[in-house]
A and B are shown apart, each in its own frame.
Chain A
Amino acid sequence: MKIDRRDFLKLMGMGSAILVLGPHSLAGAATTKAGQDDFFFVQLSDTHWGFNGPQINPDATGTLKKAVAAVNSMKSQPDFVMFTGDITHTTDDPKERRKRLAEARDIIRGLKVKNIKFMPGEHDAGLDNGEAFQEYFGKTHYTFEHKEVYFIVIDNVSDPTSSITDTQLQWLSAELKKLDKDSRIVVFTHRPLFDLYPNWDWWTRDGAKAVDLLMPYKNVTVFYGHIHQEHHHMTGHIAHHAAKGMMFPLPAPGSVPKRVPIPWDSAKPYSGLGYRRVEAKVEKAEYVLTEYPIKKG
């Protein structure tokens, strides 16, 4: 089921914002706890550091730096920044891969906020099972808690078959068993967990198993990347939100014969590129998404 944007899309300032209704709001039966603080984080995705293609992005070395500057210029700083994969563009050369990972890491260190979370995309990890990525950014799947929201980072790229794998699914099951059924849960993945468009490999082979594990939990929202465009989808009560990329946009699923990058439009530079602010309304289990474009300068 697709979210009907007309129901709750509103435009705000420089970015477009979507009020994402949490399951509590839909059911009208929220369980509230005192002292839950609202906060916001920033999702950056698919920065593809190392990409080279002037027809696609003549400012390939500029967009990540612009994103860092834009986040730094926010009036209030996010509690953390999450990179949902494809931080670097792939290369067959392991030495070059490490060089790109190191350069991206050093640019990202320019963020004022120092609470930065990472996960790989297939460009970072698909050719060496995440070996180089882990040297620079640490674990590829993990959990963390922030202000009573439980964040689960699922790696669906290090296995080259686009799979989470049984081992990680067992880990996910064990992590979920620690939580109450009404816990606020946010999942980060690179690929969509649902079958968005398998013909373009826009899916996770065993993603349905992860969704099945998450389904008993009332408040689950998934943020992902990979498809280089904003996209919203529901599997039952679980919302899935894809973010724009920072290097090149991709066509809408199945809209053209091949999933090739959309060429640079000099009349609208940086169009289709952007990042996302996610405001967590913890008590209500709601999230307000605000999409920001990359700007010149």
Chain B
Amino acid sequence: MKSAKDRFRFILTLIMVFAVISFVTGVFVACQKKQVIKITAKKFEYSPNVIRIKKGVPVVLEFSSLDSVHGFTVPDLGGVRATIEPGKVTQVRIVAPKAGTYEFHCDLFCGDGHEGMTGKIIVEE
């Protein structure tokens, strides 16, 4: 038979274990929480069209279209691309391994002005 003292120690240990787990999980989640940048697309521009991020830090670009279907691609970032449809939120996760400027553009022909629908991602150290 365990004594009341033993039961108290056991419960206390359990509480401490849960506390440690909760703390570690909280720190982990906080670390994993990605930066989200909202971007709107419309004929024939992205807003914002200059995005600054940190090297090696995951970022989620959250697109929404204000008119028709548009595309998004960054050829020099592993060819990441997305189709941005009106009425939907489209998320694109990017991680830039190197500092520098990466051009992006609409890769779904969207009309007279499509060629100018561009932007840049500036990756800082």
Contact = CB atoms under 8 A, between A and B. Distances in A.
B77 to A, nearest CB: 11
Interface string B94-119: 00000000010101111110111010
A122 B116 contact: no
A161 B112 contact: no
Contacts of A122: 109
Interface in B50-78: 69, 71, 75-76
B108 to A, nearest CB: 5
A91 interface: yes
Contacts of A92: 111-112
Given A198-B75, A199-B76, A199-B103, A161 B108 contact: yes
Interface residues of B, number: 17
B112 A199 contact: no
Interface in A116-142: 122, 126-127
A196 to B, nearest CB: 12
**In the complex, which range does the number of interface residues on chain A fall in?**
10 to 19
30 contacts: A90-B109, A90-B111, A90-B112, A90-B114, A91-B111, A92-B111, A92-B112, A122-B109, A126-B109, A127-B109, A127-B111, A157-B109, A160-B71, A160-B108, A160-B109, A161-B71, A161-B107, A162-B107, A162-B109, A198-B79, A199-B75, A199-B76, A199-B103, A199-B105, A200-B105, A201-B105, A201-B107, A258-B118, A259-B115, A260-B116
Interface of B: 69, 71, 75-76, 79, 103, 105, 107-112, 114-116, 118
